[in-house]
Amino acid sequence: MAVQIIPFQSSINTCYILKDRGAILIDGAWVNKVSSFSELLGRHGMTPEEIKLIVITHGDFDHVGGTRELKEFTGADIAIHEKDRKNMEEGIFHWPEGVTPWGKVSRAMFKPLLKIKATFAPVKADLVLGDNDQSLEEFGISGKIIYTPGHTLGSVSVLLDSGEAFIGCLIHNKAPFTLKPRLPIYAKDMAMLKRSLKSIIDRGAKILYPGHGKPVPVEKILKYLS
């Protein structure tokens, strides 16, 4: 049985429910999204308690903002890498530096407003990830969490055995970030990010599911990694 992939649109973010023998959620959305998340579960005949794990791809404000609310709603454990853990557990507004002209301009324009409006409640991690792979078999998903730093130092991805990879902000594929699939416009270390993307592709990724935008075949990203 193939893993069912259910996108959860949260403002400009896309989170993902993965359902097979069990179910997990990738990323914690923006704040105040429990109602829309509940409606999505209902449309797919799911209950909140079916979600056993929330995997945070990285500790930026738009990926962790609603995590506490979703944990309280589902009872799920939260997994995040140790290097991004502090942002979530202390409610720290984090946004990597711009690495393109538009990235630098847009960050300077929007950061003051978002820093005020994007406050969120901190929440403790239940599963603190390191640099080694973390199997998802115990949660009923045939895949693993792998360490893919670059956008942030604690970025992780979920790679399914079937080749789907849920990669947070290792690429962007949505306005106002980009108009086509490409490397992100914000990052901590672009050289590290490229190595992470190459690694996940070498390990069998076929389709990349970004946190902003629609899925992308890996072939559309290869030209940016040379």
- Nearest alpha-carbon partner for 153 in 124, 196, 107, 91: 196
The stretches of 118-168 forming alpha helices (DSSP H) are none
Reported pTM: 0.97
What is residue 117's predicted lDDT score, i.e. its pLDDT? Answer: 86
Q: Is the peptide bond between 112 and the residue preceding it cis, with omega within 30 degrees of 0? A: no
Report how far residue 209's alpha carbon sits from residue 162's, in angstroms, rounded to the nearest whole number: 13
CATH superfamily of 4-224: Ribonuclease Z/Hydroxyacylglutathione hydrolase-like (3.60.15.10)
Tell me: the pLDDT tens digits for 42-64? 999 999 999 999 999 999 999 99
Report how far residue 226's alpha carbon sits from residue 224's, in angstroms, rounded to the nearest whole number: 6
Alpha-carbon torsion (68, 71, 77, 79), positive or negative: negative
What are the pLDDT tens digits along the chain (226 aa)? Answer: 689 999 999 989 999 999 999 999 999 999 999 999 999 999 999 999 999 999 999 999 999 999 999 999 999 999 999 999 999 999 999 999 999 999 999 999 999 999 988 899 999 999 999 999 999 999 999 999 999 999 999 999 999 999 999 999 999 999 999 999 999 999 999 999 999 999 999 999 999 999 999 999 999 999 999 8
Residues contacting residue 44 through CB under 8 Å, at least 6 positions apart: 4, 6, 17, 19
Our measurement of the distance from residue 171's CA atom to the centroid of its chain's CA atoms, rounded to an integer in Å, reads: 11
What is residue 1's predicted lDDT score, i.e. its pLDDT? Answer: 64
